[in-house]
Structure 1
């Protein structure tokens, strides 16, 4: 019998972990299962090879012998070899029982004919939704068209850029009456506002004239959804920061909770001064020097 590379059959490396083997086996067994490939002899052969490879590599002792002896790994026990070969040729009910129990959580010992009635979950769908930051400040309803079907969904306020949500049962139809797949939606959020968003907090730069920064006063600024008045303390320094609690972005799926708005003051130096202004600044300069 020609040597069979079980690692190659499962598409894994010799350093694969037990989890890697299990994942590869489930993926390939689903792909080549007879229910999905009726009257396909090549798929049936492939299906048997996959199960044979899994039988060896998923058992520590078998895998050690296979790694050590290669194509002669079965020669250690001729009786066991004959038993395995017999099972491979007839593909017994026990093998199908192991397959269905491990992959689909089945019970009992189903025969080949019962295996054809196994229920498969439908294909999962993936979609992307382009939104603006203003769109997700409040929750709203939207209709998506996925694979020709219209799906109504509520988009919660506060979703993040790149966030993926799952809508259960909105994917492809199941096989043999199995459950429908799920729909995964990825949100791509554009920001055309003057605010920078980091998590639930918003950041904005506010220009402050020199006179107000020195003497103090009152200014009015924009928040994300309204305007507020702020009292400026005398002698406010450039790059000073002020936090407005609860004036940031809504917290995802926590109605009524908001992050904070962080304001950074940038003091503007006056230009195009009049002669009078220059004269006054010179007087201030002298006072400062004399002081």
Structure 2
């Protein structure tokens, strides 16, 4: 990766490296809502910012990725790939490092130390030419790969420890509703319809590789569904809020209500109050592995007009002058 390709994920979110996980999540949700394509239809700049914010969060919300990013900067992806040493018995030729010649380095950490001027620091395993700390050296397996216990980013796996890997992945509500495919470090993976925040998707045989036994664990994708400006979750159901006018509330009405797959004509009975909900059965969220849907709850919000025409004002004044209903008639009984 060239230096000009480096993305400062902290700057993209408007944070610094000391930001906590909660701060990162809170800022991400705010920016994701601001630049969401549904909130900015046709705005290519907002769409690009939305993708940047999503990419930054995907890295900084994952503790392992963030650790690599903080340690290696623009080379964090290569470091994550090599695990601190060169793959394939010490050869760096299997990983794309943007045209840099790594034959002079014994490990990725050694390259980073040299790049940052840390080789002279005398840390174990930080140099070649007789500077290795042999007390920490551990001979590799049949492939001849040797490792150093103090390699930053290299995990010395004990027998029986898990090779499984967990990676955070962010989806728009539309992607989670319909299902989609996403590219991760190990390749393209399919996301089934109906996943929600907290869902885990198992991708068999795509986890960490044991360099000695060649066994490979599984990859688990931990899902976070990005906030949507109209639909939210209420347990397994979807919920949305629809505004209606005072006359529609009094007389009842038939209106078009957005649903995930398109608008639906919904008839509201007379006398609806703000906060009441109508349940549209089978119009909510897909149930994973089932050909069923949860319910869509349509919550009512009565919204008075901010501006009135002369005839509208006259009609409201006549209603007010002739109204017999008093919703506050029993409040006098509430005095202590």
Report the Cα distance in structure 1 between the residues aligned to 2:313 and 2:180, rounded to whole angstroms. 55
Higher fraction of helix: 1
- In the superposition, the TM-score normalised over structure 2's length comes to 0.46
2:307 to 262, 272, 277: 272
Please state how far the C-alpha of 1:175 moved relative to its aligned partner.
5.7
Report the Cα distance in structure 2 between the residues aligned to 1:283 and 1:173, rounded to whole angstroms. 78
CA deviations 1:38-57 (Å, max 9, x no partner) are 59xxxxxxxxxxxxxxxxxx
Call closer, same or farther: CA 1:188–1:237 in 2, change over 3 Å: closer
Call closer, same or farther: CA 1:226–1:177 in 2, change over 3 Å: same
Query: Who is 1:233 aligned against?
Result: 269
Structure 2 residue runs without a partner (length 5+): 1-136, 141-157, 327-336
1:138 to 169, 175, 178: 178
1:68-147 aligned at under 5 Å gives the runs 123-146=163-186
Report the Cα distance in structure 2 between the residues aligned to 1:226 and 1:244, rounded to whole angstroms. 13
Greater CA radius of gyration, 1 or 2?
1
Call closer, same or farther: CA 1:177–1:158 in 2, change over 3 Å: same
Report the Cα distance in structure 1 between the residues aligned to 2:231 and 2:162, rounded to whole angstroms. 42
- In the superposition, the TM-score normalised over structure 1's length comes to 0.52
Call closer, same or farther: CA 1:171–1:289 in 2, change over 3 Å: closer
1:161 to 190, 197, 205: 197
Report the Cα distance in structure 2 between the residues aligned to 1:258 and 1:219, rounded to whole angstroms. 22
1:221, 1:229 within 8 Å by CA — same for their partners in 2?
yes
Report the Cα distance in structure 1 between the residues aligned to 2:192 and 2:235, rounded to whole angstroms. 15
Report the Cα distance in structure 1 between the residues aligned to 2:245 and 2:280, rounded to whole angstroms. 21
Aligned residues: 173
Please state how far the C-alpha of 1:207 moved relative to its aligned partner.
0.5
CA-based RMSD of the aligned residues comes to 2.9
Where 1:213 maps in the other structure, the secondary structure is helix
Where 1:137 maps in the other structure, the secondary structure is helix
Structure 1 residue runs without a partner (length 5+): 1-35, 40-102, 105-119
Report the Cα distance in structure 2 between the residues aligned to 1:129 and 1:197, rounded to whole angstroms. 19
